[in-house]
Chains A and B, each alone.
Chain A
Amino acid sequence: MTLIVIFGLWFVLAILISKNRPSVRRFAFKRFIWVPILFIPIWFGTYSMMKAAPGDPAYVIAGSHASEEVIEATREAYGLNRPHIVQFVDDTWKQANGNSGNSFIFSEKTIAQLAAERIPYSFAITFPSLLVILFVGLTVGLWATFKKGTWLDTFLLSSALFWQAFPSLILIQFLMLIFSVKLGWLPAGWSGDWTAVFTTTAIIPIVTMSLGGIAGMARFVRTITLNVIDEPYINAAKSRGLGPFRIAIRYVLHNASLPLVTVLLPMFFLSFEGSFFIERIYSIPGFSNFALEALFARDYPFLLFFAFWGILLGLFIKWLTDMLYIRLDPRATQ
């Protein structure tokens, strides 16, 4: 049922986005229909790969030293002897209903509970980071655009590069070394629940997460803005007596926002990959951290949950990005 609710909301979103624009509507729904068609093979493929991977779930549950009979019994109990397809359909059905079962590691809790507990922590660092990236990156990028060719521009570009090159797992250690260990200004680990995001606890992880992103965003903004400024219609707009502000917003920004949107959304939702290491090293009980542990421990209920909703989320992001792009730029429908 959960799945149906989700799709229902998605459908409503599709209607909202394509309001008043018939061409957009056609695309919105066409792409919407494609989602299940794409989802099923990808999900099936992933599922099969997971089941094919060694590491019999039975061993995980019962413990690797259990006797043969216990293993067999476990298998029966968990339905692992059924044909592959049957397992697939059953598991899919369970996921679709939001019934994700209990984690192997924390067997008292369901995956959904665990997710609910941990996601706020991950959000606590990713969300603020994204805001920082967006605003600071945009500002720096625009600043560099205006100062193109000057020393400042070169400096900004080089430092952007510098921060982009820094792998987060190294950076966070450096920051912890300098600010926690040597200077003692900031804590070296996460303490408290997710509301600790408003305290100094959150500074190091957020900074680590943002620096690379700011650099990337700034460079990107600079590139697209410069491209737009070179276009003939900017000059034509000038010749018509339009002032710099008007041109900046209605012409430059409008045209530059198109590629920006395609980049922004994926960044927004899929920043979990980066938070792996930060959560690990900084000891944040977040979702990524748990995901990693689960992967190693072969926590199958979790893996299924992660794959199922992860793929769906990925498809959703792609759909949303396409929709926004089409909404902003009528050319894309031609």
Chain B
Amino acid sequence: MSKLLEVRGLSVDFVLPNGSKRVLDDVSFDLKRGEVLGLVGESGSGKSMTANAISCLLPKKAQVLGGEVIFFGDETPADFLKLSEREMRNKYRAKRVSLIFQDAKGSFSPPRSVGRHIEEMVRLHKGVSKKKAKGIAKEIFGSMFGDSKEGERNFDKITQSLSGGQAQRASIALAALVTKPDVLIADEATTALDVTVQAKVLDELMQVVRENNISLIFITHDFGLVAEYADRVVVLDKGKVVETGVTEDVFYRPQSEFVKNVLRDLPRIDKRLRQKEHTSLQNNVINVQNLSVAFPYTTPKGLFGNVSEKEVAVNNISLEIKEGEIFGVVGESGSGKTTFMRSVLRVLPDIAQLEGSVDVLDKDVYALEENQLRALRKMVGGVPQGTKQSLTPRKRIDFLISEALDIHNLYESDNADKKEEERRERVAQLMEAVELPVDRMRDYVARLSGGEAQRVAIASALATNPKVLFLDEPTASLDASRKHTILNLLLKLQEERGLTYVLISHELPTIASICDRVAVMWKGRIVELGGARQVLENSLHPYTQILRTSFSVPDPKEARRNLRLRKEKNLVMPSFSAQELESIGQSELVESSQKGHYVDDVTQQLFFNKMK
């Protein structure tokens, strides 16, 4: 394969009011024709900057200190960095080098339909009449959607009305299929998507790229994706290239400490962190029976009327969570897992309509009076989704951590000074427990990193010494090594305090690492329930199997096996029409041949039928 693009010694600084920051430091790598190059690194490593630098779309505050970006696509090689903006725009952008962004919806002008954007591209780059352009645009657009009906429908929609996957497909059509560039740079293109959608979109992207002989620079923070799709890999850390090579070499024979550490720490579905086996005690800490939650909304109908409709978030689920166990709830967006958590903790918005019963520590949560409810809250803690977002901005750490103490007045002393002392002590204890340096007590929230913020949230939930702790996406926005640290911390705390955890996550590896039992949720229902090993290794429900194979493993052989499985066994997420979804009816979990392993046979059948 011949060299198509060469980046040599690229160094870029950000010029800030209080000094400059080195974002790229002597970055060099090659892209060969027809290959998929994975550019991987944690957040802040400079991967997006590299993409911007190559296409000369750096922000104003960026200054290129040196280096070359040489494009070998024509007879005479050209250094992009030395070209004028006009040359770059007229000759290379979109025609030879194109980009896809993480925020697919953000790539389109909000009030305009996506189809118009494609028309515009067609007219600009192919110089055909308006009418013809529309036809071509429709064709191109439709080719990204296997079922052309969907393509036609979405053509005239504005980005807001599209789903994440559809929007990304539209932007692939826009960036790659009109001009068929030599180089396509996908900058975290699927990071915002659900895993099963991500798998589909990426499979399709790879197909597009191979069919049109486009060389792809695939930028991601996910080592697993790189293992699955990339031919060669470039690893960035803090603006420097720490390792490059063929994928197998990088993963099986890593040279750099950085890669070695990442591979060691990254949670994997097949790697178990929790060693202890949980013997199921009989005490039910949480008992949910036939819980359904719906959110009503109105849509306009006809000229004046409004129709009230309901969006069902949780559809008749029943669960028992036992004392001392770590229970995992896994599902993608829309599965109802967060609503489930909010139902148990009774923090649903007022418009929510709830049916069924929720018992926590043998008390019916929804039958309690205000002060009884408040007392119960001391026993059940929650850490909501979003690491930094769950901490009130502009507040200090000690305020947040001790807030529960203030609300419930859990102080022993009476006078104000003694209380303040006591408060500080308690905060210090909690900070130690979550491994935060105590001298940061008076820091403001803004100075915390993601992992540190997560710990503050956990500490504040532990302030009242609860028996149960709910955690919503505890590892979602963290880098690999931090995920590992948090999971270990959770295990430690569990040991020390005898907690029961309910861990909600869309990340299967996280769940697999530490959960004893797992419930898999899909569209508000539990489709599979059982011990972690049972559910993950002997998955009965097609959805669980799809989920499993959609998750990328940082191991090329395993990853490619998943890829093959997806193709051969068609373990791809089918799409269901609205009517099909409505007609499902009540789900019921049926025990399988294995004890304690349940499956929802109704949806199981539905999936089977669709996947033939």
8 A-B pairs with least C-beta separation:
A241-B94, A232-B106, A236-B107, A241-B93, A239-B99, A329-B111, A240-B94, A233-B109
Query: Quick check: A241 and B95 within 8 Å, CB to CB?
Result: yes
Which residues of B from 73 to 127 have beta carbons under 8 Å from A?
A: 89-90, 93-95, 98-99, 101, 103, 106-112, 120-121, 124-125
Q: Are A232 and B107 in contact (CB under 8 A)?
A: yes
In the complex the two chains form, is B57's CB within 8 Å of A235's CB? yes
Task: Compute how far the CA of A137 lies from the CA of B101 in the bound complex, rounded to whole angstroms.
Answer: 36
Instruction: Evaluate whether A251 and B109 lie within 8 angstroms (CB atoms) in the complex, with A238-B57, A241-B89, A334-B161 already known.
Output: yes
CB pair B106 A231 closer than 8 Å: yes
Q: Is the CB of B98 within 8 A of A30?
A: no
Q: Is the CB of A240 within 8 A of B175?
A: yes
In the complex where A26-B303, A30-B303, A30-B304 touch, is A242 in contact with B109 (Cβ < 8 A)? no
C-alpha gap A187/B160 in the complex (Å): 57
In the complex, what residues of A have CB within 8 A of residue B120's CB? 242, 250
Whether A236 and B110, one on each chain, are in contact in the complex, defined by CB atoms closer than 8 angstroms, is no
A312 to B185 alpha-carbon distance, docked (Å): 56
Chain B 477-489 against A: per-residue CB contact (8 Å), 1 yes, 0 no? 0000000000000
Q: What is the count of residue pairs linking A and B with beta-carbon distances less than 8 angstroms?
A: 75
In the assembly, what is the distance between CA of A110 and CA of B224, in Å? 83
Check if B108 sits within 8 Å of A233, measured CB to CB: yes
B300 CB–A CB distance under 8 Å: yes
10 contacts between A and B (CB under 8 A): A29-B303, A30-B304, A235-B57, A236-B171, A239-B99, A242-B120, A242-B124, A330-B111, A331-B110, A331-B158
**Interchain nearest-CB distance for A166 vs B (Å):** 34
Binary flags per residue of B294-307, CB closer than 8 Å to A gives 1, else 0:
00000010111000
Q: Is B174 an interface residue (CB 8 A)?
A: yes
Q: Is B55 an interface residue when CB atoms closer than 8 A count as contact?
A: yes
Query: Given A240-B94, A240-B174, A330-B158, are A232 and B110 also a contact pair (CB < 8 Å)?
Result: no
- Asked whether any CB of chain B lies closer than 8 Å to the CB of A89, the reply is no
Closest to B116 in A: A250
Q: Mark A15-44, 1 if CB is under 8 A from B, else 0.
A: 000000000001001100100000000000
**What residues on A are CB-neighbors of B303 within 8 Å?**
26, 29-30
Q: Does A180 reach chain B (CB closer than 8 Å)?
A: no
Whether B121 lies near A240 (C-beta < 8 A) is: yes
Q: Does A54 contact B (CB under 8 A)?
A: no
What per-residue 1/0 map shows which CB atoms of A202-240 lie under 8 Å from chain B? 000000000000000000000000000001110111111
Q: Is the CB of A240 within 8 A of B93?
A: yes
**Those of B149-177 within 8 Å (CB) of chain A:** 158, 160-161, 171, 174-175
CB neighbours (8 Å) of B302 from chain A are 26
The reply on A328 being an interface residue by CB < 8 A is: yes
Interface centre among A237, A240, A246, A250 (most CB of B within 10 A): A240
**Could you list 7 further interchain pairs (A-B, Cβ under 8 angstroms) beyond the known A233-B106, A241-B95?**
A233-B107, A237-B109, A239-B55, A243-B89, A255-B110, A255-B111, A334-B160
A50: Cβ under 8 A from any B Cβ? no
Q: Which residues of B contact A331 (CB under 8 A)?
A: 110-111, 158, 160
Kindly state whether residue A112 has any CB partner on chain B within 8 Å.
no
Instruction: Name the CB-closest residue of A to B179.
Output: A241
> Which of B98, B107, B304 has the most C-beta atoms of chain A within 10 angstroms of its own C-beta?
B107
Chain A residues near B304 (CB-CB < 8 A): 29-30, 33
Question: B233 CB to closest chain A CB, in angstroms?
Answer: 24
Q: State the CA gap A250–B111 with chains docked (Å).
A: 11
Give, as a whole number of angstroms, the nearest-CB distance from B126 to chain A: 12
Are the C-beta atoms of A328 and B55 separated by less than 8 Å? no
B111 touches A254 (CB 8 A): yes
Partner-A contacts on B (CB < 8 A): 55, 57, 89-90, 93-95, 98-99, 101, 103, 106-112, 120-121, 124-125, 158, 160-161, 171, 174-175, 179, 300, 302-304
Q: How far is the CA of A308 from the CA of B364 in the complex (A)?
A: 59
Closest-by-CB residue of B relative to A328 is: B111
Residues on A with beta carbons closer than 8 Å to the beta carbon of B171: 236
A186 on the B face (CB < 8 A) = no
Determine the main DSSP class of A at the interface with B: helix
CA distance A179 to B175 in the complex (A): 61
- Assess whether A281 is interfacial by the CB under 8 Å rule: no
Query: In the complex, which residue of chain A has the Cβ closest to the Cβ of B99?
Result: A239
Indicate if the CB atoms of B101 and A232 lie closer than 8 Å: yes
In the bound complex, how far is the Cα of B160 from the Cα of A246, in angstroms? 23
Decide if A258 is an interface residue (CB 8 Å cutoff). yes
A251 to B161, CA, bound (A): 19
Q: Contact check, A26 vs B300: say whether CB atoms are below 8 A apart.
A: yes
Minimum C-beta distance from A223 to chain B (A): 18
Known contacts A30-B303, A258-B111, A334-B160; is A236 also within 8 Å of B106 by CB?
Answer: yes
* CB–CB A236/B101 < 8 A: yes
Chain B min CB distance to A215 (Å):
27
> Are A239 and B94 in touch, CB under 8 angstroms?
yes
Which residues from chain B contact A239 at a C-beta distance below 8 Å? 55, 57, 93-94, 98-99, 175
> How far in angstroms is the closest Cβ of chain A from B511?
33
- Residues in B with CB closer than 8 Å to A243 are 89
B101 to chain A, nearest CB (A): 6
CA distance A242 to B161 in the complex (A): 25
- Distance in angstroms between the alpha carbons of A233 and B167 in the assembled complex: 13
Q: Which residues of A contact B179 (CB under 8 A)?
A: 241
| Closest Cβ–Cβ distance, residue B134 to chain A (whole Å) | 16
Chain A residues, Cβ within 8 Å of B300: 26
Contact across chains for B108 and A236 when beta carbons are under 8 A apart: yes
Kindly provide the distance from the CB of B113 to the nearest chain A CB, expressed in whole angstroms.
8
Within 8 A of B (CB), among A247-264: 250-251, 254-255, 258
- Nearest-CB distance from A201 to chain B (Å)? 44
A328 to B110, CA, bound (A): 11
Q: 1/0 contact trace for A315-334 toward B, CB 8 Å?
A: 00000000000001111001
CA distance A231 to B101 in the complex (A): 13
Closest to B113 in A: A330
Q: How far is the CB of A280 from chain B (nearest CB, A)?
A: 44
> Hey, which chain A residues are within 8 Å of B161, CB to CB?
334
By a CB distance below 8 angstroms, the chain B residues around A255 are 109-111
Residue in chain A with minimal CB distance to B302: A26
In the complex, chain B residues whose CB is within 8 Å of the CB of A26: 300, 302-303
Please indicate the chain B residues that have their CB under 8 angstroms from the CB of A30 in the complex.
303-304
On chain B, the residues within 8 Å of A242 by CB distance are 120, 124
- Chain A residue nearest in CB terms to B301: A26
Please, what's the 1-or-0 string for A114-154, where 1 marks a CB less than 8 Å from any CB in chain B?
00000000000000000000000000000000000000000
Asked if B103 contacts A232 (CB within 8 A), the reply is yes
Distance in Å from the Cβ of A148 to the closest Cβ of chain B? 10
Task: Name which residue of chain A comes closest to B95, CB basis.
Answer: A241
Least CB distance, A286 to chain B, in whole angstroms: 40
Task: Determine whether the beta carbon of B98 is less than 8 Å from that of A240.
Answer: yes
Contacts of B89 in A (CB 8 A): 238, 241, 243
CA distance A26 to B302 in the complex (A): 8
Of chain A, the residue at the smallest CB distance from B94 is: A241
A59: min CB distance to chain B, Å: 48
Cα–Cα, bound, A240→B99 (Å): 8
Expressed in whole angstroms, the Cα–Cα distance for A33 and B304 within the complex equals 10
Chain A residues with CB under 8 A of B93: 238-241
Smallest Cβ-Cβ distance to B111: which chain A residue: A329
Closest B residue to A331 by CB, please name it.
B160
Shortest Cβ gap from B528 to chain A (Å): 35
Residues of the B chain whose Cβ atoms lie less than 8 Å from the Cβ of A258: 111
CA distance A231 to B106 in the complex (A): 8
Q: A220: shortest Cβ distance to chain B, in Å?
A: 20
- 8 Å CB contact of A254 from B99, B103, B106, B109: B109
The complex places the Cα of A243 from the Cα of B121 at a distance, in Å, of 12
C-alpha spacing A250/B158, complex, angstroms: 15
Q: Give Cα distance in the complex from A255 to B94, angstroms.
A: 23
Q: Cβ of A240: which chain B residues have Cβ within 8 Å of it?
A: 93-94, 98, 121, 174-175
Q: A241 to chain B: closest CB distance in Å?
A: 4
Instruction: Specify which chain A residues have a CB less than 8 angstroms from the CB of B109 in the assembled complex.
Output: 233, 237, 250-251, 254-255
Please encode chain A, from 80 to 110, with 1 for each CB lying within 8 Å of some chain B CB and 0 for all others. 0000000000000000000000000000000
**Nearest-Cβ distance from residue A274 to partner chain B, whole angstroms:** 32
